[in-house]
Amino acid sequence: MHRIFLIGPMGSGKTAVGRQLAKALNLAFHDSDVEIEQRTGVDIPYIFDKEGEAGFRQREREVIDALTQLDNVVIATGGGAILLPENREHLRSRGNVVYLRTSVDQQLERTRGTRTRPLLFTDDPKQRLTDLLTVRAPLYESTATFTIDTDGRRVTTVVDDIVHRLGITARHSDQCPQNV
Sign of CA dihedral 92, 99, 131, 125: negative
**pLDDT digits 0-9 by tens, 30-42:** 999 999 999 999 9
Cβ–Cβ < 8 Å for 115, 125: no
Q: Which residues contact 135 (CB under 8 A, 6 or more apart)?
A: none
Cβ–Cβ < 8 Å for 30, 60: no
**pLDDT digits 0-9 by tens, 87-141:** 999 999 999 999 999 999 888 887 776 665 555 566 778 888 899 999 999 999 9
The pTM of the full predicted model, rounded to 2 decimals, is 0.88
Taking domain 3-166, whether its CATH number is 3.40.50.300 is answered by yes
Angle at 116 between CA 6 and CA 86, to 5 degrees: 40
Name the phi and psi angles at 110, rounded to 5: -75, -25
